[in-house]
C-alpha cells in the first residue's frame, strides 16, 4: 500500500511538471464568483438611474453600468465593467462608475449601501440631480477611497462621512473646468472638525467648490498625513494660518478663489515637498515671496489675480522643475529679461498678462530663441511689447498664444506661418497696431488645428484671409479691412462666432452664408458698407443666438426664414434701408429678448396681437425713427414688458455662450457679450454688457397717435421708456408712479396736456427725464429726482411754471399753451434725445456696476486668457 501511494505521488508530480496549464486551470476553477446578494444590489442600483450615452459629458465617457447583465456569459458581477472583487472572498470591494453617464437621484435606501465590503467607491462626474449625499453612506465602513466629485450632489455634507474612519482619500470637489452656477455642497465647520478628529488616516482631502465659509481653521494642521489639500473657492476669508506649515507631507495645496488676505506666510516654505501650489484669485498684500525659490520640487504655481505687487524675484528662475507658472492679473512691474526663462527648460505654460511688466527680448540675430523652453500656453497680453517676439519662430508646440493689448506695430512677420503649424489652437493678437501679414502663403490661414483667432481692434487692411474649416471663432472687428467677402467663407462648417463688424467691407454678402446657420451662434456684420437683399435663406433648424446686420445699406424686407431660428435671442437690423411692416411673425420665437429696427423705412400701423403668447421673452425693443403710424401698440407693449419681474439669479448678462472643445475632456466656454451704446445729447457712451433684467421700449420718432395707456404703470420692470417725437395726446398717466425701476423717461415733442403728475417724484432711480415741447400746464413738481433736471427737460411748455423754468407760478399773466411744433426731422432733434443702440462686441470680460449698466470707457475688453479659460487650462493635460 505504501509503495502504491509512493507511485501515485510520483505520477501527480510528473503530471504537474509536464502539464502546468492543467494546474492553472484547476486553480482558476476554484476562484469564487460574486455573491448573489451583491449582484442583486448592483443591478437594483443600476436600474434606479438613467444610464446611457445621452447623459455623457464627453465623447470619451462610457456608460459602464449599462453592460451589466444578470444572465449569460457576463452574469458574474466580478467581471462587470467598473466592479472589483476580492480574489479570496468574492465580495465586491471596488466600484468605479466615474464618467459613467449616470442621471438620477440617489436615496438613503439605495441598494448601493448594501455593499458593505466596499473599499473604493468612485461616482465622480455623473449627475445625481442635486440630491443630498445619503447619510447611510456610513454603512460602508470599510471604505478607504471615496470620490463624489463633480456629481451634482447638493446640500450639507452629512456628519456620517466622519464615521468612515479608514478613509485615506475624500474628494467632494467640483472640477475647475466644469463650473457650476453655485457651490452645491456646504460643509459646517463643526463637521469639518469631526473629519479631522476621526479621519486620522486621510492623505487626500479635496473640498474645492464646497462652501466652508469660514477662516482656514488651525485644526487642519492635525491632518498630519495629508499630501493633497484642496479648498479652492470654498468661501474662505482671513489670512493663511502659519499652522498649515505643520503639514510637512503636503505635495499639493489649493486655496484659490477665496477671499484670503494679508501676506503669503513665510512659514509655508517648510512645505519642502510641494509640487503644486495654487493661491490665485485672492486679495493678498505684498510681493511674490522670494522663498518660493527654495521649494525646488515645485512644478505648478498659480498666483494670478492675487493683488501682488513688486517685481518677479530672481529666485523664481531657479525652479528648474517648474512646468506651469501663472502670474497674470497682478500689479507686478519692472523690466523683465525674457531670457531668464531659459533656465526653466521644463516650463510649458506661462502667463504674465495684465500686469505692469515690460518684457525685453534678445537680439534678433542671436540664437537665444532656441534655448528657451518649448511653450504650449503663452499669455503675454499687456506686457509693453512693441514687435513680434522673434523667439516665437522656434516654438513648435504652442497651443495657446496671447499677445493682445500690446503696442505691436507693422505686419505679422512671414515666419509666423511656420510656427506651431500642427499644434496651434488659439491665437489672440487683438488690440495692437498691426496693419497686415507679410507674404501669407495663400488666402487661407493654414494652421491645421486652429479653432479661435482674435484680431479685433488693429489696423488691418486689405481683404479678409479665410481660415481653414476647423475654425470655430473669428473676430476681426474694428479694423480697416475692405473688399467683398469671398464665398470661401461658406466652407467654415464649424464656425460658431463670426464677427466682421466695424470694417470697410462692401458689396453683397455671399448667399451661402445662410447655410452656416446650423453651426453659427453669433453673426455680426455691423457697421460696414454691405448692400443688397439680406442673404439669410435659412432652410433648416438654426443655432443662431444673435444677428447684427446694423449700420449697413441692406434693402428689401426682413427675411421670413428668421421665423425658424427658434434659438434666436438678439436681432439688430437698425440703420439700414429696409422697407417693411412690423414683423409680428417674429412673435413665435420663444427666446427672442432684443429687437432693434430703428432708422429704417418700416411703416404702417402695428397689428393687434393675436394672443398673449407672442414675444414671450422680449424686453428690449427699439423701433424708433421709422414711419409707424396709428395708435400705440398697447397690446404688444403690455406683452413685451408685461411680466412683473424678471426672474434672474444674481446678475447675469446677455451673451452668446459657446463651448470650444480643445481636447478629449477639455472644453472652454466663450461668452460673446452683447453691448450697448447710450446716446444722450449726441454723446455716445459705450457699455460693455447688457444685464438680463434690463427692459427698454423706444417707439420715438414715428407717427403714433392717441393717448398713453393707463396700464403703462404696470410695467414695473421697465428701465427706459421713450415715446418722444410722435403725435400723442392726452395726459401723462398717474400710473407712471408704478415704474419703480425707471431710469429714463422721454415724452418730449408730442401734444400731451394737463399737469405733470406729482407721483413722478417717487421714481427714485430716474436719471434722465424730458417732457419738453408739449402742451403741459401747471407747476413743476419739486420733490426728489425731478429737482435734478434743468430747464431743457421742461421748455417748450408755455403753461408750465416753477423751478427750473424762469417763469414763477402765480404770475397774473394768463398764457395759453400753444400747440406743439410739427414733427421735426432728425437734424432738428430735441434738447435731450435718448436713443438706445446696441453694438456687438466680442467682449469676453468686464463687469457692469450700477442699477442697469456700467460705463466701460468705450473700449472692448478681452480678458479671455485670464478669466474665461484659466480654470480650465489649469487642468489641461499636455
232-285 pLDDT, tens digit per residue, is 999 999 999 999 999 999 999 999 999 999 999 999 999 999 999 999 999 999
Task: Give me the mean pLDDT over the 667-671 stretch.
Answer: 74
| Structural domain contains residue 584 | yes
Question: Per-residue pLDDT tens for 355-398?
Answer: 999 999 976 544 456 689 999 999 999 999 999 999 999 999 99
pLDDT of residue 679: 55
Q: What are phi and psi of 18, to 5 degrees?
A: -85, -25
Counting every residue, how long is the chain?
878
DSSP string computed for 518-535: GT-SEEE--SSEEEEE--
Task: Give me the mean pLDDT over the 535-550 stretch.
Answer: 82
Between 335 and 669, the higher pLDDT residue: 335
CA distances from 733 to 703, 757, 777 (A): 20, 8, 15
Which strands sit side by side in the sheet containing 753-754, from one edge to the other? 753-754, 775-779, 799-801
- Distance from C-alpha of 429 to C-alpha of 786, rounded to nearest angstrom: 48
Nearest CA among 390, 351, 398, 353 for reference residue 373: 398
- Distance from C-alpha of 465 to C-alpha of 450, rounded to nearest angstrom: 14
Task: Give me the mean pLDDT over the 564-573 stretch.
Answer: 92
| Structural domain contains residue 302 | no
- When pLDDT is cut at 50, 70 and 90, the band that residue 634 belongs to is confident
| Structural domain contains residue 6 | no
pLDDT at 30 over 80: no
| Structural domain contains residue 3 | no
Question: Per-residue pLDDT tens for 405-464?
Answer: 999 999 999 999 889 999 999 999 999 999 999 887 666 677 888 999 999 999 999 999
In contact, 568 and 574? CB cutoff 8 Å? no
Range of the domain at 57: 40-282
| Structural domain contains residue 234 | yes
Q: Which residue among 257, 282, 307 closes a domain?
A: 282
Environment class of residue 813 by beta-carbon count within 10 Å: exposed (0-12), middle (13-18) or buried (19+)? exposed
pLDDT at 824 over 80: no
pLDDT of residue 785: 78
CA distances from 624 to 138, 606, 627, 731 (A): 65, 13, 9, 22
Percent of the chain with pLDDT over 90: 62
Among 208-217, 661-670, 721-730, the least confident range: 661-670
Between 514 and 621, the higher pLDDT residue: 621
pLDDT of residue 868: 36
pLDDT of residue 33: 81
Nearest CA among 197, 327, 206, 216 for reference residue 261: 216
pLDDT of residue 840: 38
pLDDT of residue 865: 34
Question: Which H or E run contains 854?
Answer: none
pLDDT of residue 619: 87
pLDDT at 23 over 50: no
With b meaning 16 or more CB within 10 Å and e meaning fewer, what string describes 320-342?
eebbbbbbbbbebeeebebbebb
Among 193-202, 533-542, 705-714, 816-825, the least confident range: 816-825
Q: Which residue among 253, 282, 311 closes a domain?
A: 282
| Structural domain contains residue 635 | yes
pLDDT of residue 52: 87
pLDDT of residue 381: 97
pLDDT at 662 over 90: no
Percent of the chain with pLDDT over 70: 82
In contact, 403 and 424? CB cutoff 8 Å? no
| Structural domain contains residue 805 | yes
- When pLDDT is cut at 50, 70 and 90, the band that residue 176 belongs to is low
Nearest CA among 704, 710, 712, 711 for reference residue 729: 704
Task: Give me the mean pLDDT over the 711-725 stretch.
Answer: 89
Among 14-23, 379-388, 771-780, 789-798, the least confident range: 14-23
- Distance from C-alpha of 712 to C-alpha of 19, rounded to nearest angstrom: 96
Task: Give me the mean pLDDT over the 216-221 stretch.
Answer: 90
Q: Which residue among 234, 259, 282 closes a domain?
A: 282
> For the chain, what is the domain count?
2
pLDDT at 876 over 50: no
Mean pLDDT (the chain) is 84
- When pLDDT is cut at 50, 70 and 90, the band that residue 716 belongs to is confident
Nearest CA among 756, 801, 792 for reference residue 773: 792
454's CB contacts (< 8 A; 6+ apart) are 404, 427, 428, 429, 430, 473, 475, 842, 862, 864
Question: Per-residue pLDDT tens for 729-744?
Answer: 999 999 998 898 899 9
Between 591 and 20, the higher pLDDT residue: 591
| Structural domain contains residue 270 | yes
- Distance from C-alpha of 323 to C-alpha of 463, rounded to nearest angstrom: 40
Specify the CATH number for the domain of residue 129.
3.80.10.10
Nearest CA among 754, 776, 768, 779 for reference residue 820: 776
With b meaning 16 or more CB within 10 Å and e meaning fewer, what string describes 501-532?
bbbebeeebbeebbbbbebbbbbbbbbbebee
pLDDT of residue 419: 92
Strand blocks (E) in 315-367: 324-326, 331-337, 349-351, 356-360
- Distance from C-alpha of 826 to C-alpha of 317, rounded to nearest angstrom: 63
pLDDT of residue 29: 38
Where are the alpha helices (H) located in 335-438, listed in sequence order? none
pLDDT of residue 688: 67
pLDDT at 286 over 90: yes
pLDDT of residue 841: 39
Amino acid at each position: 500500500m505504501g509503495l502504491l501511494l509512493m507511485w501515485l505521488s510520483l505520477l501527480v508530480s510528473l503530471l504537474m511538471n509536464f502539464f502546468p496549464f492543467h494546474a492553472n486551470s484547476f486553480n482558476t476553477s476554484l476562484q469564487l464568483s460574486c455573491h448573489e446578494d451583491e449582484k442583486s444590489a448592483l443591478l437594483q442600483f443600476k436600474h434606479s438611474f438613467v444610464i446611457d450615452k445621452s447623459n455623457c459629458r464627453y465623447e470619451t465617457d462610457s456608460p459602464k453600468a449599462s453592460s451589466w447583465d444578470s444572465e449569460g456569459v457576463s452574469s458574474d458581477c466580478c467581471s462587470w465593467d467598473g466592479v472589483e472583487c476580492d480574489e479570496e472572498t468574492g465580495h465586491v470591494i471596488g466600484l468605479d462608475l466615474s464618467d459613467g453617464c449616470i442621471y438620477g437621484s440617489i436615496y438613503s435606501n439605495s441598494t448601493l449601501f448594501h455593499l458593505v465590503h466596499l473599499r473604493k467607491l468612485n461616482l465622480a462626474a455623473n449627475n445625481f440631480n442635486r440630491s443630498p449625499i445619503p447619510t447611510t453612506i456610513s454603512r460602508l465602513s470599510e471604505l478607504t477611497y471615496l470620490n463624489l466629485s463633480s456629481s451634482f450632489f447638493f446640500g450639507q455634507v452629512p456628519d456620517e462621512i466622519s464615521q468612515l474612519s479608514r478613509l485615506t482619500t475624500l474628494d467632494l470637489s467640483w472640477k475647475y473646468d466644469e463650473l457650476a452656477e453655485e457651490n452645491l455642497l456646504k460643509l459646517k465647520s463643526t463637521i469639518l472638525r469631526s473629519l479631522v478628529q476621526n479621519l486620522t488616516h486621510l492623505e487626500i482631502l479635496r473640498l474645492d467648490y464646497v462652501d466652508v465659509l469660514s477662516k482656514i481653521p488651525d485644526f487642519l494642521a492635525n491632518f498630519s498625513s495629508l499630501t493633497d489639500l484642496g479648498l479652492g473657492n470654498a468661501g474662505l476669508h482671513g489670512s493663511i494660518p502659519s499652522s498649515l506649515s505643520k503639514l510637512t507631507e503636503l505635495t499639493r495645496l489649493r486655496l484659490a478663489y477665496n477671499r484670503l488676505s494679508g501676506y503669503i506666510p513665510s512659514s509655508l516654505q517648510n512645505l519642502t515637498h510641494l509640487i503644486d501650489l495654487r493661491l490665485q484669485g485672492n486679495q493678498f498684500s505684498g510681493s511674490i515671496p522670494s522663498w518660493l525659490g527654495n521649494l525646488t520640487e515645485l512644478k505648478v504655481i498659480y498666483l494670478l489675480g492675487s493683488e501682488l505687487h513688486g517685481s518677479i524675484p530672481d529666485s523664481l528662475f531657479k525652479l528648474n522643475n517648474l512646468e506651469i507658472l501663472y502670474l497674470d492679473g497682478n500689479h507686478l512691474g519692472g523690466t523683465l529679461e525674457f531670457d531668464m526663462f531659459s533656465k526653466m527648460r521644463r516650463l510649458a505654460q506661462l502667463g504674465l498678462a495684465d500686469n505692469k511688466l515690460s518684457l525685453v527680448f534678445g537680439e534678433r540675430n542671436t540664437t537665444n530663441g532656441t534655448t528657451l523652453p518649448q511653450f504650449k500656453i503663452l499669455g503675454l497680453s499687456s506686457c509693453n511689447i512693441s514687435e513680434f517676439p522673434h523667439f516665437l519662430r522656434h516654438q513648435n508646440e504652442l497651443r495657446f498664444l496671447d499677445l493682445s493689448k500690446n503696442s505691436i506695430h507693422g505686419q505679422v512677420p512671414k515666419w509666423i506661418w511656420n510656427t506651431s503649424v500642427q499644434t496651434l489652437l488659439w491665437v489672440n493678437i487683438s488690440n495692437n497696431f498691426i496693419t497686415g501679414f507679410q507674404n501669407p502663403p495663400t488666402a487661407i490661414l493654414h494652421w491645421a488645428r486652429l479653432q479661435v483667432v482674435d484680431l479685433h481692434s488693429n489696423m488691418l487692411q486689405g481683404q479678409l484671409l479665410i481660415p481653414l474649416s476647423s475654425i470655430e471663432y473669428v473676430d476681426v472687428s474694428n479694423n480697416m479691412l475692405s473688399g467683398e467677402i469671398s464665398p470661401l467663407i461658406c466652407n467654415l462648417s464649424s464656425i460658431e462666432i463670426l464677427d466682421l463688424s466695424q470694417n470697410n467691407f462692401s458689396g453683397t454678402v455671399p448667399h451661402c452664408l445662410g447655410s452656416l446657420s446650423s453651426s453659427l451662434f453669433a453673426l455680426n456684420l455691423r457697421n460696414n458698407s454691405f448692400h443688397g437683399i439680406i442673404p439669410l435663406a435659412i432652410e433648416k433648424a438654426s443655432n443662431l443666438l444673435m444677428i447684427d446686420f446694423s449700420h449697413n445699406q441692406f434693402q428689401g424686407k426682413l427675411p421670413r426664414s428668421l421665423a425658424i431660428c427658434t434659438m434666436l435671442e438678439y436681432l439688430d437690423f437698425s440703420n439700414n434701408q429696409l422697407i417693411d411692416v412690423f414683423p409680428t411673425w417674429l412673435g413665435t420665437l420663444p427666446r427672442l429678448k432684443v429687437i432693434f429696427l430703428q432708422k429704417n423705412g418700416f411703416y404702417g400701423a402695428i397689428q393687434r396681437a393675436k394672443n398673449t403668447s407672442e414675444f414671450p421673452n422680449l424686453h428690449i425693443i427699439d423701433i424708433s425713427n421709422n414711419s409707424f403710424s396709428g395708435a400705440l401698440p398697447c397690446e404688444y407693449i403690455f406683452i413685451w414688458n408685461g411680466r412683473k419681474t424678471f426672474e434672474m439669479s444674481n446678475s447675469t448678462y446677455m451673451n452668446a455662450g459657446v463651448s470650444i472643445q480643445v481636447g478629449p475632456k477639455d472644453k472652454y466656454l466663450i461668452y460673446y457679450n452683447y453691448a450697448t451704446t447710450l446716446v444722450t445729447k449726441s454723446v455716445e457712451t459705450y457699455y460693455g454688457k447688457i444685464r438680463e433684467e434690463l427692459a427698454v421700449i423706444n417707439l420715438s420718432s414715428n407717427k403714433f397717435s392717441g393717448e398713453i395707456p393707463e396700464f403703462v404703470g404696470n410695467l414695473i420692470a421697465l428701465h427706459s421708456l421713450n415715446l418722444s417725437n410722435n403725435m400723442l395726446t392726452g395726459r401723462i398717466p398717474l400710473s407712471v408712479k408704478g415704474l419703480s425701476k425707471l431710469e429714463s423717461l422721454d415724452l418730449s415733442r408730442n401734444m400731451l396736456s394737463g399737469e405733470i403728475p406729482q407721483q413722478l417724484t417717487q421714481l427714485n432711480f430716474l436719471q434722465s427725464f424730458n417732457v419738453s415741447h408739449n402742451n403741459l400746464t401747471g407747476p413743476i413738481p419739486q420733490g426728489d429726482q425731478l429737482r435734478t433736471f434743468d430747464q431743457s427737460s421742461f421748455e417748450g411748455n408755455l403753461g408750465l411754471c416753477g423751478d427750473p423754468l424762469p417763469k414763477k407760478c402765480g404770475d397774473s399773466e394768463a398764457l395759453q399753451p400753444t400747440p406743439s411744433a410739427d414733427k421735426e426731422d432728425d437734424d432738428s432733434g430735441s434738447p435731450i434725445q435718448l436713443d438706445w443702440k446696441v453694438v456687438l462686441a466680442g467682449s469676453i470680460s468686464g463687469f457692469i456696476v450700477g442699477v442697469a449698466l456700467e460705463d466701460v470707457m468705450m473700449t472692448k475688453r478681452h480678458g479671455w486668457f485670464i478669466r474665461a479659460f484659466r480654470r480650465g487650462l489649469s487642468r489641461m493635460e499636455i
